[in-house]
Structure 1
């Protein structure tokens, strides 16, 4: 017989004054999250055995810890507390396939996003192998994808290595202005942010 565990930690530490004793009891009973005082009137939340996104509290009512924490986040200063994150790992006392993995939740004032390795592996396994299949894959999901390549970055910054150019692509993807999108100027500006100004051609005065 094997034992399964789902351990998790919550960041950052949260002001203890936000929580009543009954709320802390509900977090523990329904979701496995325990609160430990860490000084400064704050609480560190963690699940040392079993973490659940939702469950039943001691009175039998359904309790969703992500929505609950989002409500608490909205009562805090946005600059001091921009988000709450939960990182976790699922393990097993025996080396059984499919019993190990990780998960994460990020809670902001407007959104709750979740990720786990099982869904990621499933999506990766179903990804198509060539460009035509990739277009069909996104069409089936009613989506389109705009693809940029490392060589595109090297067109505007030939002084970079391919690894550096890929860093530019990754940063541009995550940090671009959605009202502008990604274009040649965005790639050039992102490269400048990461690696400084483009070198002047040899023989040309600055």
Structure 2
């Protein structure tokens, strides 16, 4: 069986004060992280985690702490909490709904950051043709733009063959 990896780095380091308490908690479960002074370096050795299990009481406390701060993550978490049963102790959060990109975009909108860069290297434990490549994503307050190595190669080949859209 082949193992697929999506090693990922986030640049620049994110100021801790730019994140809500909930965003810090969730990004810390999506990525590996390291405090660098007053900033946080996020990365993923195997790939970003998109299925999180969070202590429900802690999440409710974090939401209270962040009350009044515009956050798509907080909106999603409130929706998911509303679906929980009264005796649930854990919140299952599917981050594919908004993605970590949306969290970083909210952080940019509220902070002095003008962008966040995401670079990913796709690798595989076996030499599979679909197991290698990479991507770059640029997140700004208004846009999230991505390019993959496979997409770039397709466009370059189309230009060479004269099939590029014009």
Q: What TM-score does the superposition give when structure 2 sets the normalisation length?
A: 0.66
The answer to whether the 8 A contact 1:13-1:43 is kept is yes
Match among 82, 104, 112 for residue 69 of structure 1:
104
Secondary structure of residue in 2 paired with 1:2: coil
Q: Show CA shifts across 1:126-172 (max 9, x none).
A: 44634xx55xx33xxxxxxxxxxxxxxxxxxxxxxxxxxxxxxxxxx
Contact 1:24 1:34 in 2 (8 A): no
Which residue matches 1:3? Answer: 3
- Unmatched runs of 5 consecutive residues or more in structure 1: 139-206
**Displacement after TM superposition at 1:45 (Å):** 0.7
Q: Relative contact order: is structure 1 or structure 2 higher (C-alpha 8 Å, sep ≥ 6)? A: 2
**Residues 107 and 113, structure 1, Cα contact 8 Å, conserved in 2:** yes
Match of 2:19 in 1: 19
Residues 165-190 of structure 1: per-residue CA shift (max 9 Å, x gap): xxxxxxxxxxxxxxxxxxxxxxxxxx
Give the equivalent residue in structure 1 for 2:36.
Answer: 38
Correspondences of 1:118-197 after superposition (within 5 Å): 118-127=150-159, 129-130=161-162, 137-138=165-166
Counterpart of 2:130? 98
Aligned to 2:52: 57
- 1:5-45 deviations in Å (ceiling 9; x for gaps): 1111111111112335543342244xx31221011x11111
How many corresponding residue pairs?
Answer: 126
Bigger Cα Rg: 1
The alignment's TM-score, normalised by the length of structure 1, stands at 0.54
